[in-house]
């Protein structure tokens, strides 16, 4: 015996299956939320390109990070993770905005 549990063969314990159903529902919600968020940020990108505004707004991002870190702390989520996750999303948004503006 190596001490490493064997992979589950067929039968998944009921408790694990229940937790995985919750995880799948949450992942579905996250995909829908991200789709809505990117739909809104695409419109922001078009607006910014039309108005000749820069893709990124560091002041706005600092406010968002402060707000999200506080929310994360209140809800038991690691604020460092919350900030990294936010930065990951915003980097993609900026990439889209640059593309919309032809940069
Ligand atoms: C969406 C915007 O553009 C950028 C992306 C942001 C975001 O994804 O939340 C926030 C600020 C900007 O750097 C915006 O200015 O509101």
Q: What pLDDT, on the 0 to 100 scale, is given for residue 10?
A: 78
Give the number of the atom of ligand 1 that is nearest the alpha carbon of residue 37.
8
For ligand 1, residues with CB inside 6 Å are: 41, 44, 56-57, 60-61, 64, 90, 93
By alpha-carbon position, which residue is closest to atom 4 of ligand 1?
56
- Res 2 pLDDT > 70: no
pLDDT tens-digit profile of 7-66?
Answer: 667 799 999 999 999 999 999 999 999 999 999 999 999 999 999 999 999 999 999 999
Task: Considering only residues 85 and 7, tell me which one the structure prediction assigns the higher pLDDT.
Answer: 85
Strands (E), the chain: none
**Domains plus CATH for the chain?**
19-100 (1.20.59.10)
Residue 97: how many CB atoms within 10 A of its CB? 22
Overall average pLDDT of the 73-91 stretch: 98
User: From ligand 1's centre to the CA of 58, what distance in Å?
Assistant: 8
- Res 5 pLDDT > 80: no
Instruction: Report ipTM (2 d.p.).
Output: 0.99
Cα separation values, 47 from 32, 38, 89, Å: 23, 14, 19
């Amino acid at each position: 015996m190596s001490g490493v549990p064997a992979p589950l063969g067929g039968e998944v314990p009921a408790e694990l299956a229940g937790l995985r159903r919750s995880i799948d529902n949450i992942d579905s919600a996250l995909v829908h939320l991200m789709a809505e968020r990117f739909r809104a940020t695409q419109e922001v990108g078009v607006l910014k390109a039309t108005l000749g505004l820069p893709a990124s707004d560091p002041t706005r991002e600092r406010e968002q990070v402060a707000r999200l870190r506080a929310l994360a702390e209140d809800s038991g989520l690691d604020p460092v993770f919350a900030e990294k996750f936010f930065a990951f999303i915003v980097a993609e948004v900026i990439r889209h905005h640059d593309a919309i503006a032809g940069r």
